Amino acid sequence: MNDLEKKLTTIKEWLGTGSINIFGLPMSGKDTQGIRLAEALDAKFLSSGMIIRAMEKETKNHYSEHGALIPTNIFYEWVLPYFERADLFKYPLILSSIGRWHGEENQVMSVASGAGHEIKAAIILNISEADVEKRFKESKILNDRGGRQDDKDLETFRTRLQEFREKTLPVLQHYNSLGLLIEVNGDQSRDAVFNEIVEKLYRKAS
């Protein structure tokens, strides 16, 4: 067993069927790192963005197309039931930004804990707004985001950045006050970001 495998084993034992919630600005790599971490920990991955986009398509209600977060009552109705799904019961969960609006975090933590998926850490991938705008412009050239409505133009994207500043930063402050927040440098290679996540989770688990 190599060093990385040892650290992941320690994290798995500490996490049990709990959850890790990953936050960051748009384009910071939350889903990329979340999926990779879920695979490494034999966990299930839940992204609020993916769930919301699927529900918007199904219901034809496009709450997020202009970059704003969806109303809290809709978030509760669409996203929170996933914590109680029978097919997720025995697994730890890696969450991508579930509960992004200040005031939602306590309900998210309560529902997660009640379903056996206590949130044991929140990760913030730190990256500057200038860098995420650069990533956004590069992504538009590559057309690698699947035509998402909340990425349709720079104005909409900047609305998402403003929503993060005003509504999500207080969520992170709350996690920090509980001793759950882990800060990671998101402005590195994908491998370096992943390795830092594992290292810091290992320290917490130890």
CA distance 112 to 76: 12
Task: Note the helical H segments in 3-114.
Answer: 3-15, 30-40, 48-59, 72-78, 105-114
Cα–Cα distance, 190 to 97 (Å, whole number): 18
Predicted pLDDT of residue 63: 83
pLDDT of residue 133: 87
User: What confidence score (pLDDT) does residue 147 get?
Assistant: 54
Whole-angstrom Cα Rg for the chain: 16
Would you state the pLDDT for residue 148? 56
Domain count of the fold of the chain: 1
Percentage of the residues of the chain whose pLDDT score is greater than 70: 95
- C-alpha 104/C-alpha 93 separation (Å) is 18
What range does the domain containing 100 cover? 3-205
Q: Give yes or no for residue 124 having a pLDDT over 80.
A: yes
Residue 136 pLDDT > 90: no
Whole-angstrom distance, CA of residue 136 vs CA of residue 153? 9
Helix axes 30-40, 190-205, angle to 10 degrees: 60
Q: CATH no. for residue 115? A: 3.40.50.300
Sign for the CA dihedral angle at 52, 110, 193, 8 comes to negative
